[in-house]
Chain A
Amino acid sequence: MNDLFNVPVFGVSITLAAYFFAINLRKKWNYVLLNPVLISVAVIIIFLLIFNIDFETYNIGGKYISFFLGPSVVALGVFFYEKYEEVKENLKVFLVAVFTGGIFGIISIIGFLILMNIPEVLIRSLAAKSVTTPIAIEISKLVAGTPEITAGMVIAVGIFGNAFGPYILKKLGISNKLAIGAALGTAAHGIGTARAFEEGKLPGVYSGLAMCINGIITALVTPYLLQLFLGNFT
């Protein structure tokens, strides 16, 4: 029985089944904590714990699914090309906004965690917390973080931005929908972008583009910022 779990099809099937379950749950109750990724991850972890299956066994199949993250990042380049015309009139301001917000996001999390005396591996894993998961995972690998921790925290940030982002922004005096879109994409990547689309199509496009641009910026500067704050990794 136990070697059934050792075939790749186990990890693949349970992932698809959990996701299928999660999106149906979301259709039934549209509640932010019922984020499909969060629910899928929770369902799979509970299943693995109940049947005493370790992560490595699950990942025999799981890695066939995560393999597609690589080409998905390339696909974001296509999305970017398709949509960037729509921000043309605001392009310069938009780039400055995303760049500044993105950089402050990285520096503030690194600085805060250093002040709190958090272990270095966690700081390295969280530096890219604002960008889309596939890019964050690559950054994390590159800077000697732990990609699994990165993925979990990035999803948490996305859910936070999705649930509270527009509310916080409005409280802070930001009412412009395009500004809300750009902010959500910069700080809360794809999950934030889903929320930006609820504000309107153009805010959604702004958010998607902000996500791509902040992904590139963060990928380029994070290794250097970490080196600056923490020194070389071994």
Chain B
Amino acid sequence: MLKGLLYIFGFLIAGELLTRLFNLPVAGNIIGMLLIFIALKLKIIKLKDVKPASDQLIKYLVVFFIPYGVGLMVYFKLIAEYWIPLSLGLVFSSILSLYISGIILQKFGK
């Protein structure tokens, strides 16, 4: 678990470092995600070393974004003012996205 966490934090720092060094328009944790995938693929690190920590983080992922959800209270007025077009947009765009992904895989997948 501890070793896994250390790896995960290591890749996170590496990601943050790369974003800053090269001024990348992508967040450091996303670079970290790509790096850890590559490291696993190239067998630089072992799945069994990181899995205990990563499974726990993913298990409680939803808890970690609760504070951001609570932050919505600050913007309540703004959302309330535009809630109809916002909801329409979200529904329309989500259905479009669902349909396009679904139809492509259904038509051309095995």
Contacts and interface: CB of A to CB of B under 8 A. Distances in A.
B5 interface: yes
B17 interface: no
B90 A126 contact: yes
A2 to B, nearest CB: 19
Given A101-B101, A152-B69, A129 B90 contact: yes
Interface residues of B, number: 71
Contact of A76 (B33, B65, B66, B92): B33
A73 B95 contact: no
B59 to A, nearest CB: 10
B21 interface: no
Given A134-B64, A180-B102, A105 B93 contact: yes
Interface in A124-157: 126, 129-130, 132-135, 137-139, 141-142, 146-153, 155-157
Interface residues of A, number: 108
Q: Closest 10 A-B residue pairs measured CB to CB?
A: A101-B101, A148-B71, A62-B67, A105-B97, A138-B27, A151-B68, A183-B102, A77-B33, A41-B69, A75-B54
25 contacts: A41-B69, A44-B70, A48-B70, A59-B70, A62-B70, A69-B61, A72-B58, A74-B33, A76-B58, A78-B8, A78-B47, A98-B101, A105-B94, A122-B78, A130-B93, A135-B27, A135-B29, A138-B29, A149-B79, A151-B65, A155-B69, A161-B98, A173-B103, A179-B103, A187-B95
